[in-house]
């Protein structure tokens, strides 16, 4: 009798152990995983109906079925209903708007995705998920109207563009160019109007600018900026490197830069300084001068001719393509991206326009190098200064002293390297020293644009 009781107890124990083991197996086996499929739609909540919605469904055990519906107002459109014989490890597809949807003037839509995985959980039914994605339907392109722009632009020069852009779901406004640079626009005069300076880099053989306005739904309006293009030839200088120069100024500069640490070859040192160090210094300049305050309304933009150094004579021109040779072999090249001016040693450098100092520090080949923001993406740069009389963050008024000329950095004599940049692009300083050019290409265009806007 006792043996029977012991045997029954043993069977019960074995049964409970088996049940527990089975439960542990179910809870830990990948076959019985309990994670529902993950459904994603690549969209920001807006839909223009033209571009498909990209849907992905993923799961640890694979997908066995999915169903997609689109609900607009009181109508439901069946988009897809798929069942698979073998599980699918990942599903990715595009959902196109049904043709019938175009006749329904809807402001919003709902995408419903139901997916089931291959798990054995829930009594072999698997895990199921229902995801709903709501969209604002917007198939209308933004309004874009060109108001005014400069008549022409010169290679290495600047122009101004003014236009109207509006949309309930406005996302991005820019002026794209044929060389990959996007110029940012700022609010101008009245709500819905924008202004931007643009520039044609000297290294680009051609130029084309297009105003591009995009809304959150991906609708885009574009308009080509009609400009008369004026090509301009810039000086090309062939310079023979002398041992005295390589063992003097270049050796002196090499001690300043980590890029030339341990480099003994004089030509290699020159190449590193003329190319790598220069590129690093100019990268900093471009980063600083590419910024535009897009949250401020521009009501006017009046710039006085820029003569930062009194009684100065030009000693090197903007855009000069310098080709360096040593012992009859070309070893390096560079472009001179400013206008060199010289007067007296440690001459006083002043500003003829109000501005905000955005940089006032040492910058490699440019030496002591203040940079001033004059608004609307226009910056002026002053290189090789012996001393600075401004600090970063200072606000300047007309006539304020900025610095004194010198020969810090890559300079062989006391002078000012004067640069002008438009949203990170170096342009001819001579244009911004020319009162007539500024009146015709800037002041008159802005004045005419205001008249057009006032009539609208």
Summarised one tens digit per residue, pLDDT across range 179-210 is 999 999 999 999 999 999 999 999 999 999 99
- 222 membership: H or E segment, kind and range: strand 220-224
- CA Rg, the chain, in Å? 34
Q: Which residue has the tokens 């990948």?
A: 30
231-268 pLDDT, tens digit each: 999 999 999 999 999 999 999 999 999 999 999 999 99
CATH of span 236-437: 2.70.70.10
For residue 42, the tally of other CB atoms under 10 A from its CB is 11
**Alpha-carbon distance 130 to 123, whole Å?**
19
Check residue 23 and give its pLDDT. 46
The pair of structure tokens assigned to 184 is 């940012």
Q: Please give the CATH superfamily to which domain 143-231 belongs.
A: Immunoglobulins (2.60.40.10)
Cα Dmax for the chain: 125
Whether the CA torsion 117, 118, 124, 125 is positive or negative: it is: positive
pLDDT reported for residue 74? 83
Asked if the domains at 31-137 and 143-231 fall in one CATH topology, the answer is yes
Query: Can you read off the two tokens belonging to residue 125?
Result: 């039914």
Residue 32 has a pLDDT of 67
pLDDT of residue 87: 81
Q: What is the pLDDT of residue 24?
A: 47
| Low pLDDT (below 50) residues in the chain | 21-29
CATH architecture of residue range(s) 31-137 = Sandwich (2.60)
Predicted pLDDT at 390: 97
pLDDT of residue 25: 46
Query: Which tokens hold the place of 277?
Result: 């160090």
pLDDT value of position 99: 83
Instruction: Specify the DSSP class assigned to residue 406.
Output: B
Residue ranges covered by each domain of the chain: 31-137, 143-231, 236-437
């Amino acid at each position: 009798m006792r043996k029977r009781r012991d045997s029954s107890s043993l069977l019960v124990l074995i049964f409970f152990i088996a049940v527990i083991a089975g439960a542990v197996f179910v809870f830990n086996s990948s076959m019985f995983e309990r994670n529902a499929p993950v459904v994603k739609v690549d969209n920001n909540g807006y839909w223009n109906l033209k571009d498909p919605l990209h849907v992905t469904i993923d799961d640890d055990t694979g997908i066995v079925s999915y169903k997609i519906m689109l609900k607009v107002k009181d109508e439901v459109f069946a988009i897809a209903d798929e069942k698979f014989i073998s599980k699918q490890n990942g599903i990715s597809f595009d959902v196109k708007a049904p043709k019938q949807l175009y006749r329904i003037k809807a402001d919003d839509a709902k995408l419903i995705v139901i997916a089931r995985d291959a798990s054995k959980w829930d009594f072999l039914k698997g895990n199921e998920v229902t995801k709903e994605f709501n969209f604002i339907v917007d198939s209308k392109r933004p309004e874009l109207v060109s108001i005014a722009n400069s008549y022409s632009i010169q290679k290495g020069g600047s122009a101004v563009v003014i236009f109207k852009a509006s949309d309930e779901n406005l996302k991005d406004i820019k002026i794209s160019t044929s060389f990959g640079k996007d110029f940012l626009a700022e609010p101008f005069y009245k709500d819905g109007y924008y202004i931007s300076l643009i520039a044609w880099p000297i290294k680009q053989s051609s130029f084309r600018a297009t105003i591009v306005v995009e809304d959150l739904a991906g609708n885009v309006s574009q308009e080509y900026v009609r400009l008369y293009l004026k090509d301009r030839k810039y000086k090309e200088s062939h310079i023979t490197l002398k041992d005295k120069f390589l063992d003097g100024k270049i050796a002196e500069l090499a001690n300043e830069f980590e890029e030339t640490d341990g480099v003994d070859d004089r030509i290699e040192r020159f190449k590193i300084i003329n190319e790598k160090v220069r590129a690093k210094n100019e990268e900093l300049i471009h980063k600083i001068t590419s910024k535009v305050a897009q949250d401020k309304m521009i009501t006017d933009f009046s710039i006085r001719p820029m003569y930062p150094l009194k009684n100065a004579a030009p000693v090197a021109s903007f855009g000069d393509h310098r080709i360096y040779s040593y012992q009859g072999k070309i070893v390096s090249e560079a472009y001179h991206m400013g206008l060199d001016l010289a007067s007296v040693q440690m001459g006083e450098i002043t500003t003829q326009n109000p501005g905000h100092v955005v940089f006032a520090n040492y910058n490699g080949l440019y030496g002591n190098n203040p940079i001033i923001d004059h608004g609307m993406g226009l910056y002026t740069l002053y290189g090789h200064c012996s001393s600075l009389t401004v600090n970063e963050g200072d606000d300047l008024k007309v006539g304020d002293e900025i610095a004194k000329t010198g020969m810090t950095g890559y300079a062989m004599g006391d002078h000012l390297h004067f640069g002008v940049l438009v949203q990170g692009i170096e342009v001819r300083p001579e244009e911004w020293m020319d009162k007539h050019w500024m009146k015709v290409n800037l002041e008159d265009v802005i004045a005419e644009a205001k008249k057009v806007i006032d009539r609208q």
